Amino acid sequence: MLIDLEQQPADALLALIKLHNADPRADKIDLGVGVYRTGQGETPVFGAIKAAEKKLVETQDSKAYLGPEGDMGFVEALMPYVFGKDSPTMGGRIEGMQTPGGTGSLRLALAMVKRAGYKRLIVGKPSWPNHNQICADLGLEVLEFNHAKADGTTDMDALRAALANADASDAVLLHGCCHNPTGIDYSKAEWDEIAGLLAERKVLPVIDLAYQGLGRGMEEDAYGVRRVMVAVPEALVCYSCDKNFGLYRDRVGALYAMVADPADLTKVMSNAHALARANWSQPPDHGGAAVRLILEDEALTAQWLDELDQMRERMRQVRAKLAEAGKTGGVDLTAIGIQNGLFSIIPFTPEQVQAMRSEHGIYFAGSGRINVAGLTMGNIDKFIAAVAAVTG
């Protein structure tokens, strides 16, 4: 029976990694993999994480199971950063649990959406490919709307139209900040309007907050989540520490559920625990414990936030440099300067994507999504020149 399974296509990003690795050119550029890189092209371990891990090794006295909810100290320590220290929603209406990365959180959230009887998930396009893959695996219907317009701004008309036709049987997936793959985020005014529309249409928001701190700042990047949470009775928030703590391979995430009546939290979370038990049983502990230790220690917290500030500032410098190039060949890079996070999309044709690889040794997704952190002050001029040559 196993031989009757259909061959699945190779993951495009993994295939891109192999192509880049096989390229012998010394000046090749990798803009595909979604990890932060320094100005020297490295993806280092945070100093704060190293210090927390050292402390963990010295003090941890057991590797016994924690349960499907994971490290609740970690889960609770994150909450003030996500929801705000003075948020009214913190008053017994929110509970969370640890998950294996942001992907685990999304898988769990969407499984809960399906189990709760929601009929559709409304998703902006383009979106992170795994969003739709998870929905397909769960058998959850997806309704797409255009997230952004060609000028690099959000398409609020498309979102308004999607929500106008939605009701209490629908859920909507929104990127909290640093939209993947476009980098195009909603403004504060747009989040204010979105919160009102969600409350009016009684649609369940599922907010994917995978890059907090990599856009404009920890507080600024949480504006949308917090604005929505005070407007609606129920919501799910999917959180990842993989990017803002540099814990990619350790898979550190959390899922938070908010309900109108605190008395309902036990029932809701019992379903989350049961679904987690059937999927991964219990999340890996090491990375979550390291984050907890950082957030419990003022000095380590300050060190982590400083390292995060440096990451964000470097990416903003890269974006500013690209924006300065303006009209380059047949594309305009100006809007990249006001976008956020690791990613932006440049409207390359498939032939131009291939030319960037074969003629210039520059690798990125076929969609035109680039990881701006793959650019440095040492290679960015080459990238801009290649864009001009290929699209001109």
Shared domain for 236 and 161, answered yes or no, is yes
The boundaries of the domain holding residue 83 are 65-296
Can you tell me the distance from the alpha carbon of 311 to that of 193, in angstroms, rounded to the nearest whole number?
31
Lowest mean pLDDT, pick from 19-28, 195-204, 338-347: 19-28
Q: Are 94 and 237 contained in the same domain?
A: yes
Q: Is residue 123 part of a domain?
A: yes
pLDDT > 90 fraction of the chain, expressed in percent and rounded:
91
pLDDT of residue 205: 98
pLDDT of residue 122: 98
Report residue 8's pLDDT band, with 50, 70 and 90 as the boundaries.
confident
What global pTM score does this model have?
0.94
What does the pLDDT average to over 184-198?
A: 98
3: pLDDT confidence band, cut at 50, 70 and 90?
A: confident
Residues 251 and 381 in one domain: no
Same-domain pairing of 217 and 245: yes
Q: Does any domain span residue 354?
A: yes
CA distance 390 to 245: 36
pLDDT recorded at residue 126:
96
**236-259 average pLDDT score:** 97
The total domain count for the chain is 2
Residue 329's CATH number: 3.90.1150.10
Q: What is the pLDDT of residue 376?
A: 95
- The SS3 of residue 246 is coil
Measured distance CA(376)–CA(69) in Å, rounded: 40
- Percentage of the chain lying above the pLDDT 70 cut: 99
Q: Which residues are catalytic?
A: 128, 208, 243
CA 30, CA 263: separation in Å to the nearest integer?
50
Per the prediction, the chain carries an average pLDDT of 95
Whether 53 is in a domain gets the answer: no
How many whole angstroms separate alpha carbon 214 and alpha carbon 312?
A: 5
Neighbours of 132 (CB within 10 A): 18
| Predicted pLDDT at 90 | 65
